[in-house]
Amino acid sequence: MFEVLFFIWIEFVKAFWILFPAYAANMYPPLAHGTHPIDSGKTLWDGKRIFGDGKTWEGLGLGVGMGGLVGSAEFVLWPSLNSYAKSLGGSLPQYTLPLILLVPFGALIGDMCGSFIKRRLGMDRGADIPFLDQLNFILGALVFSFLFTEINWGMVIVMLVITPILHRAVNLIGFKLKEKAVPW
């Protein structure tokens, strides 16, 4: 039983190690209060906006910047933290230079894909689609990063299970702080 719990703990730590920059990237864009939409107000064949007013260049820049800052810290801390992890019988995936920007950028591209889907479905900005809003940025981060670091199925399962819970909690905090219009 101890081995199973230890395995789950190790996968949990490794998953969060990869995701901290994605979480930062996803959390900060609303704080930019951007006014320049990425889609420049353009619509597609269906007459609906590509992404909507909620996806701005300012938010993208702040999100990638903050995620990159977290990724940079992980890059610098990896040698000592990985050494400590090895002393406990585990290891951390190496945070490489490409990941510093790929993880946060991928997370925000994943988030934009979620907005694109919502616009096609005729949903308003801020509308909630369970699991899409919580997992789109994780899938984007994974797609942009899997070639540059070790990501295994255990980590992916942990990411997919814990992220909806954390995402909801952080959004509730943002709502209470009046940084988000809706609590999801």
Global confidence as pTM:
0.86
Burial (0-12, 13-18, 19+ Cβ within 10 Å), 159 = buried
Q: What is the largest CA-CA distance in the chain?
A: 58
What pLDDT shows up at residue 85? Answer: 87
Mean pLDDT of 22-39: 94
Secondary structure class of 155 (helix, strand, coil): helix
Q: How confident is the model at residue 17 (pLDDT cuts 50, 70, 90)?
A: very high
Pair 67, 25: CB distance under 8 Å: yes
The mean pLDDT value of the chain amounts to 90
